[in-house]
């Protein structure tokens, strides 16, 4: 898509009325208030805020509970939407009776009645909107049902197959709940006019595992605020001083401590680095269920004097911490499944102009060009990660050149401006019922 085509669309079209849905209200509201939040809600917060900034009317939609659903243009004045038939005595009586029967039979809650409540609420507020954009949720399909009934254009943001993710984390969804989740996802994908994936591997997964037509699937890698994440000498000095690491080479990891964030390999590599570079320091910014295991590994390796856990920081402060780093890490383990993610931290490091060492998996292989805008190492390879770290510690000029190129690439290809223009063009064409050619 050329800039001329976009300008033509923008100049001749009216602002859109967009309903933007996410799986849960509370974490979304936290992200809207710029508090520490999961990356997926940070992404959706950016999309909502930036579409509003371009003049569109955006209605925020999300379940607050199993019975209440938020519809609001202002997250600070959110209140549950009105429901009609699903708020009546007979509907509530039937839902309670069936739930009691399910519990007696050992059948889990299958989200049937909650989704019909969601459908009812959506039918009251969606008329008058031009389209619906929804970040897919594991058990939500009320919004998709309403779009089908109202014949509203419907876009699904498919970040990952959550059934697969739970399996990878050792928390598999099984039995009737798995059957139900698959049924819901299949319905949403079928109703969708377009499905936005964050990576080519996510697209391949939808093609092979869910038999989705190729012309419905678009790849939008995650984006970064290049005005916020940038080289920042003032923040660099301030954060390094606050960490009491003003003169030390700093290696940094930023993110949630999930199973697929291979901090274990990073710690093993750092242990090797310290033997030849005892003044190097590792700063881990974030939190998560694997933090206790990481702290235990740090203690067992005798690295406590050289590793700092900052805990989670507000996303508004994340850019300042990245500015303080000399080397940034994107470690992923070797897994049986292909890596489907589009790591937000990768683009934040790039925009900040930092030297990056990343595991050569998934989308990272398309974003990082080894030796040009970062270094790639085999996933889960402690020795290779250590070797790359030592190379960069010994060669500040290489750090600088890799970071400069990474910054140029982030500005040219992965900025929020680039992302929103592309998304906005898709939405305009969808409302006009025109085909969208991917760029």
Helix (H) or strand (E) holding 425: helix 416-431
Q: How many CA atoms lie within 13 A of 22 on its CB side?
A: 26
Q: CB of 144 within 8 A of CB of 134?
A: yes
Which two tokens mark 64? Answer: 């607050």
Predicted pLDDT at 1: 47
Helices (H), 126-174: 142-150, 162-168
Q: What is the pLDDT of residue 159?
A: 87
Same fold, 3-223+415-431 and 233-413: yes
CATH 3.40.640.10 fits 233-413, yes or no: no
Q: Which of 306, 15, 23, 302 is nearest to 139 (CA)?
A: 23
State both tokens at 300.
Answer: 């067992």
pLDDT of residue 14: 86
Structure tokens at 182: 């698959």
Whether the CB-CB separation of 279 and 249 falls below 8 Å is answered with: yes
Q: Is 260 in contact with 341 (CB distance < 8 Å)?
A: yes
Q: For the purposes of burial, counting CB atoms within 10 Å of the CB of 106, is it exposed (0-12), middle (13-18) or buried (19 or more)? A: exposed
Q: Where are the beta strands (DSSP E) in 142-298?
A: 154-158, 194-197, 217-219, 250-254, 281-285
Enumerate the β-bridge partners of residue 233. none
pLDDT of residue 321: 97
Tell me what pLDDT residue 436 has: 66
d(CA 249, CA 266): 15
Contact 71, 118 (CB under 8 A): no
H or E segment to which residue 118 belongs? helix 112-125
Question: What is the structure's pLDDT at 164?
Answer: 79
| pLDDT for the residue numbered 36 | 81
pLDDT at 157: 96
pTM of the entire structure?
0.90
Q: Which of 227, 199, 198 is nearest to 407 (CA)?
A: 227
Q: Domain 3-223+415-431 classified CATH 3.40.50.2000?
A: yes
Name the packing angle between helices 416-431 and 39-53 (round to 10°): 70
Helices (H), 19-87: 25-32, 39-53
Question: Residue 96, exposed/middle/buried by CB under 10 A (0-12, 13-18, 19+)?
Answer: exposed
Q: What angle do CA 51, 52, 58 make, to 5 degrees?
A: 90
The domains of the chain are located at: 3-223+415-431, 233-413
> DSSP secondary-structure letter at 58?
E
pLDDT given at position 11: 56
Integer-rounded Cα radius of gyration of the chain = 23
Q: pLDDT, tens digit, for every residue of 341-398?
A: 788 899 999 999 999 999 999 899 999 999 999 999 999 999 999 999 999 999 999 9
CA 186, 118, 72 angle in degrees (round to 5)?
A: 115
Q: Token pair of 36, please?
A: 């520490």
User: Is beta strand 375-377 parallel, antiparallel or unpaired with respect to 57-63?
Assistant: unpaired
**SS3 letters for 65-117?**
CCCCEEEECCHHHCCECCCCHHHCHHHHHHHHHHHHHHHHHCCCCCCHHHHHH
- Collect all residues with Cβ–Cβ distance below 8 Å to 432 and sequence separation of at least 6: 13
Q: Which residues of the chain have pLDDT under 50?
A: 1-2, 439
Q: Residue 342: what pLDDT? A: 84
């Amino acid at each position: 898509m050329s800039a001329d085509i976009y300008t033509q669309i923008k100049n001749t079209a009216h602002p859109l009325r967009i309903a933007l849905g996410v799986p849960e209200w509370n974490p979304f509201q936290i992200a809207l208030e710029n508090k520490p939040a999961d990356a997926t809600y940070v992404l959706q917060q950016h999309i909502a805020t930036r579409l509003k900034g371009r003049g569109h009317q955006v209605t925020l939609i999300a379940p607050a509970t199993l019975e209440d659903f938020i519809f609001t243009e202002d997250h600070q004045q959110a209140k549950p939407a009105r429901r009609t038939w699903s708020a009546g005595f007979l509907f509530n009586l039937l839902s309670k009776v069936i739930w009691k029967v399910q519990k007696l039979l050992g059948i889990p809650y299958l989200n049937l009645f909650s989704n019909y409540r969601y459908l009812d609420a959506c039918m009251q507020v969606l008329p008058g909107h031009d389209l619906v954009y929804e970040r897919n949720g594991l058990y939500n399909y009320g919004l998709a049902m309403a779009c089908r009934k109202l014949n509203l254009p419907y876009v699904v943001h498919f970040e990952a197959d959550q059934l697969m993710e739970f399996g990878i984390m050792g928390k598999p969804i099984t039995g009737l709940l798995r059957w139900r989740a698959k049924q819901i996802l299949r319905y949403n994908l079928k109703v969708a006019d377009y499905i936005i994936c964050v990576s080519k591997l996510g697209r391949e997964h939808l093609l092979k595992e869910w038999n989705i037509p190729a012309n419905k699937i678009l790849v939008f890698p995650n984006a970064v605020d290049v005005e916020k994440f940038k080289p920042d000498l003032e923040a660099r000095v301030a954060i390094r001083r606050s960490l009491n690491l003003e003169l030390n080479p700093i290696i940094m990891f930023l993110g949630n401590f999930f199973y697929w964030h291979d901090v274990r390999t990073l710690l093993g590599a750092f242990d090797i680095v310290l033997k030849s570079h005892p003044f190097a320091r590792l700063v881990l910014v974030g939190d998560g269920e694997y933090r206790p295991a990481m702290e235990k590994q740090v203690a067992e390796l005798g690295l406590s004097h050289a590793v700092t856990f900052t805990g989670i920081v507000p996303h508004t402060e994340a850019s300042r911490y990245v500015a303080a780093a000399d080397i940034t890490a994107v470690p992923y383990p070797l897994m049986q499944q292909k890596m489907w993610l589009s790591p937000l931290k990768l683009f934040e490091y790039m925009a900040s102009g930092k030297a990056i060492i990343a595991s050569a998996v998934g989308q990272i292989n398309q974003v990082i060009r080894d030796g040009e805008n970062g270094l790639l190492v085999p996933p889960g390879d402690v020795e290779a990660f250590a070797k790359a770290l030592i190379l960069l510690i010994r060669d500040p000029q290489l750090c600088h050149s890799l970071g400069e190129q990474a910054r140029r690439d982030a500005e040219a290809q992965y900025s929020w401006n680039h992302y929103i223009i592309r998304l906005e063009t898709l939405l305009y064409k969808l409302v006009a019922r025109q085909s969208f050619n991917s760029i």
